[in-house]
Chains A and B, each alone.
Chain A
Amino acid sequence: MSAHDHAGHDHTHGGAAHGSLKGYLIGFVLSVILTAIPFWMVMTGAIDNKQATAIIIMAFAVVQIVVHMVFFLHMNPASEGGWSMLALIFTVILVVIVLSGSLWVMYHLNANMMPGLHEMREMP
C-alpha cells in the first residue's frame, strides 16, 4: 500500500470520525433532556393548550434528531467529501415533500369528499 493510499485511508476512517467520549456524553445528556421534557409536558399536561404542546414537542423532536445526527452519527459537512451531507439534504427534502404533501392532500380530500349529513338525507 502506497503512502498516498494510507493517507487517504486515515482521512476517511480517522479517529475524529468516531467521535470522542466527551462528544458521546454531551449527546447523551442533551438527548435525555430533550426526551424528558416532552414526556413530562404530555404526561402532566403542563400546558393547557394542546396545539401549543404539539408544536413544542415537535420542535424538541427536531432538535433531538439534529443532536443525534451531530453527536452519534458524526454528521458534518466534510465527512466523505461532503457526499453524505448531500445525500442527507436530498433525503430530508424528499421526506418533507412526502409528509407535508400526503397530509395536505388527504386532509383536503377528507374535507371535500366526506358526504355531509345534508347530502345523505337527500339520498333515496
Chain B
Amino acid sequence: MASTAITAGTEPVFHLEEEHAHAEGGSTMLGFWLYLMSDCLIFAMLFAAYGVLGGNYAAGPAPKDLFDLGLVAVNTTMLLLSSITYGFAMLTMDKGRVGATQAWLAVTMLFGLAFLSIELYEFAHMIHEGATPQRSAFLSSFFTLVGTHGLHVTFGIVWMLTLMVQVARHGLIEANRRRLMCLSMFWHFLDVVWIGVFTFVYLMGMLR
C-alpha cells in the first residue's frame, strides 16, 4: 500500500477507468426494439388463441355473417396511409423543419383516429347484432385480438399528441428526435401486426 502514491483529496476510483462514456439515449433504440419484440410475442399468443378458437361459433354468428370486407379495406387503407405520413414526418424531422413535422404528425394522427373510429363503429355494429364477446369462443378471441391492437393504436395516438406538445414547447431537440423515432417504430410495428389481423382474421374468416 505504501508504494501506491495517493495524493490528498483524490477520491478512490472503483470502476474501470477505460470505460468510455456512452451518449445519452445511445441504447434507447435497441431497448425499444426489444420491447416491440416482446409485444410481438403477446400478439403471437392472441393469434394462437384465435387460431385455436376461431372456429367455435357455439351456433352463433360466423365471420361471414359479421365481417364487411369493404369496411376492413377502408380501415387498412387508413393505417397504411398513416404509416407513410409518419415516414414523411421523420423525413422532415431530419431536415429540422418543426412546422412540417408537426403538420405530418397531425395528419398521421387523423388517419389513426379514422382507423379507430371505423373499428369502433364495426364493434358497435357487431355488438348491436348480438355478436358480443361472450357469445362464443370465436367472438371472445376475435374481440381480444382486434381489441388489443386497437388499444395499441389508441395509446400510439395519445403518445403522438404528447410528443406534438413536447415538440411545440422545446422544438426538435435531441431527446424529442429520439422519442419520435421510438414512436415511429411503434407505429410501423402496429401496421405490421394489422397485416396479420386482416389476413388471418378477416380474409381467412371469409374463406371458411
Contact = CB atoms under 8 A, between A and B. Distances in A.
Interface string A32-68: 1001001100110000001001100110110011001
Given A68-B188, A80-B33, A91-B37, A54 B207 contact: yes
Interface in A51-109: 53-54, 57-58, 60-61, 64-65, 68-69, 72-73, 80, 83-84, 87-88, 90-91, 94-95, 98-99, 102-103, 106
Given A94-B44, A98-B44, A24 B84 contact: yes
Contacts of A43: 69-70, 73
B91 interface: yes
Contact of B29 (A2, A5, A80): A80
A54 B44 contact: no
Interface residues of B, number: 50
Interface-central residue, A2, A27, A42, by most chain B CB under 10 Å: A42
Interface string A7-34: 0110011010011110011011001100
B90 interface: yes
Interface stretch (B3-11, B151-159, B190-198): B190-198
Nearest to B88: A24
A35 B80 contact: yes
Interface in B83-137: 83-84, 87-88, 90-91, 93-94
Q: Is the interface of A mostly helix, strand, loop or mixed?
A: helix
Interface stretch (B20-28, B142-150, B160-168): B20-28
Contacts of A35: 76-77, 80, 195, 198
A1 interface: yes
A12 B41 CA distance: 26
B199 A80 contact: no
A121 interface: no
B80 A73 contact: no
Nearest to A103: B51
B45 interface: yes
A85 to B, nearest CB: 10
A116 to B, nearest CB: 18
A60 B203 CA distance: 12
B27 to A, nearest CB: 8
Which 7 pairs show the lowest CB-CB distances between chains A and B?
A: A102-B48, A24-B87, A61-B199, A72-B188, A95-B44, A91-B37, A106-B52
Interface of B: 20-21, 23, 26, 29-30, 33-34, 37, 40-41, 44-45, 47-49, 51-52, 69-70, 72-73, 76-77, 80, 83-84, 87-88, 90-91, 93-94, 177-178, 181, 185, 188-189, 191-192, 195-196, 198-200, 203-204, 206-207
